[in-house]
Amino acid sequence: MPAFFPWWVAVTHFLNLFFLLLLARSGLEVLSAFPKLYWYDDCPPGREWARFSKKMYGKDSRKPWSSLDEEEAWNPVVALPGKKNIGLGRHWHFMSVQFWILTGVVYLVMVFATGYWHYLIPTHWSIIPDSIKSIGTYLHFQIPPKIPGEPFEPAQKLAYFVIIFLLAPFQILTGAAMSPSVLARFPWYGKLFHGKQGARSLHFLGLVAFAVFTVIHVSMVLVHDVPREAASIVLANPEANGTTAIIIGCAGLFLILVLHVIITWFSLRYRRRTQRLLGIMVNPFERAISKSFLSRQRFRSRDISPYFRVNGYPPTSTEYEHLAQDGFNGYSLPIGGLVRHPVSLSLEQLRGVGDHSQITKHNCIQGWTAVAQWGGVPLASIIDLVEPLESAKHVVFYAFDDKGLTEGEGRYGFFYGTIPVHLARNPQSILALEMNGEPLPIEHGAPVRVRLETQLGFKMVKWVCAIEFVEDYKDIGQGQGGWREDQQFYANAAGI
């Protein structure tokens, strides 16, 4: 039989703690951007089952509001990095999850290769009555006996089994069920968790379960024999000197604390660098799924959400206001750049280019969702019309809204977004002119907006005023490929 406390358990236990803390804190950052939990993908304001915010916005609110107003600035002590940085929080979340899973894989390989699984996986139902008996013993302030020939008592074994073989995979599965690319390509998968909001709620409850386990786990170590337990899990040797083990263990915890402080400080101080460095590890994975997953969404009319949040205040320029007053009759959309046939199209002409309608689910990066029907021109038809040159790699959508005027908070410049040309060819990538059978309402992007159903909402530029095909987006704005990427440090990759 394998040793009760092999060295690889000590190492993976430490790494697991480090990455789980990163995951929990960056996960809370993500939650802070939309501190509400729902069971339904319509997210009707006021119908959340949990709310971690005092702010109240109703669909009948008298003041216009945008979903970004619902975001909370959480303290960097709990959230990574805190202070309304969902873009960076997500970067940390997706970076750490890769290493957390890697740690888990190494651990599981060792568990099965060495036969350690005998200590973790109950092979008889008697584990349940035995565990109840164990818990009863604890409640009498006594320590239950270990299973003969094994390192743990029954309740402990059962708890570890549940955490390792049920809770950890559950968090991975519910996490994947929140990716817009995955949801768009495999709508059935989302349904397993009652949609994205179900997955989001369950993922949060999984975090709570991890937290509860950690508290119990640590208190159990404290009620057991601390020096001996420390020697086992820190030095992989129950017979080692307990005091040494406690000192080394505390040094390890201190190291984790220091690393977290440095990571948090660096992320807040050097936001662009953090965005770039973590992007190197996160974006390739996103690119792979964005390239290979096409949206296969097909919702029914009765799935259309009664209420659809708005993100971003409408343009305030007189130019736009004049156009709107005139029912956008004077609107024309220039499409140019690296193309063979640059054009400028009125709404009438645009309608003539193609016609496509789809009922799909919108995923805002903040976390809310809503279903609507969108009608308009497939971007693929636009591509056929203007014929981009070989050198054209990205499509830039420029918008009418100057965020310095509509949003403030020290931000500036006109909203814009870019997507790789292959995303524009996706059958559900369209220039929408209609929402739910009506001309686009002002707040949802009239007269023309982008819809890309495998991506997060921030990629779908509203109030489009011009389209350009370019080789690279480095010279546009601050060079990150979009206004939110530039100014809010969102990942350019938006399929997850």
Ligand X SMILES: Nc1nc2c(c(=O)[nH]1)N[C@H]1C(S)=C(S)[C@@H](COP(=O)(O)O)O[C@H]1N2
- Residues at the site binding Mo ion, with contacts judged by CB under 5 A: 311, 364-365, 457-458
Handedness of CA 263, 265, 266, 267 (dihedral sign): positive
CB atoms within 10 A of CB 100: 21
Residue 473 in contact with ligand X, rule: CB under 6 A = no
The verdict on 34 binding ligand X (CB under 6 A) reads no
Our CB check for Mo ion shows the closer of 158 and 364 to be: 364
Assess 130 for contact with ligand X (CB under 6 A).
Answer: no
| The two structure tokens encoding residue 294 | 């096409």
Binding partner selected for residue 463 from ligand X, Mo ion, none, CB under the kind-specific 5 to 8 Å limit: ligand X
| 399 binding ligand X? (CB under 6 A) | yes
Residue of 195, 312, 337, 375 interacting with ligand X (CB under 6 A): 312
Query: Which residues sit opposite 332 in a β-bridge?
Result: 346
Q: CB of 320: closest distance to ligand X in angstroms? A: 11
Instruction: Write down the least CB distance from residue 205 to ligand X, Å.
Output: 25
Q: Quote the longest CA-to-CA distance of the chain.
A: 84
**DSSP one-letter string for 321-388:** HHHHHTTTTT-EEEEEESBSS-EEEEHHHHHHH--EEEEEEEE-TTS-EEEEEEEEEEHHHHHHHH-B
Q: Write b or e for each residue in 413-444: b if 16 or more Cβ atoms lie within 10 A of its Cβ, otherwise e.
A: ebbbbbbbeebbebebbbbbbbbbeeebebbb
For Mo ion, the closer of residues 195 and 457 by Cβ is 457
**Cβ pair 35, 201 in contact under 8 A:** no
Nearest to ligand X of 19, 415 (CB atom): 415
Beta bridge mates, 397: 417, 467
CB 374 within 8 A of CB 451: yes
Q: Applying CB under 6 A, which part among 3-11, 171-179, 233-241, 302-310 lies near ligand X?
A: 302-310
Q: Which does 401 bind (CB under 5 to 8 A by kind): Mo ion, ligand X, none?
A: ligand X
- Candidate segments 191-199, 222-230, 235-243, 461-469, binder of ligand X by CB under 6 A: 461-469
Judged by beta carbon distances under 5 to 8 A according to partner kind, the member of Mo ion, ligand X, none in contact with residue 356 is none
The site that binds ligand X (CB under 6 A) totals a number of residues, namely 17
Quote the CA–CA distance of 172 and 176 in Å, as a whole number. Answer: 6
Residue 489 interacts with ligand X (CB under 6 A): yes or no? no
271-292 and 86-114 helices, crossing angle to 10°:
70
Instruction: Compute the radius of gyration of the chain from its Cα atoms.
Output: 26
Give the footprint of ligand X on residues 327-366 (CB under 6 A): 364
Binding mask 364-393 for ligand X (x = CB under 6 A): x-----------------------------
For the bound state, the minimum distance from the C-beta of residue 413 to ligand X, rounded and expressed in Å, comes to 11
Minimum CB distance to ligand X, residue 444 (Å): 4
The values of phi and psi at residue 251, to 5°, are -60, -40
Residues at the interface with ligand X (CB under 6 A): 308-312, 364, 399, 401, 415, 444-445, 457-458, 460-463
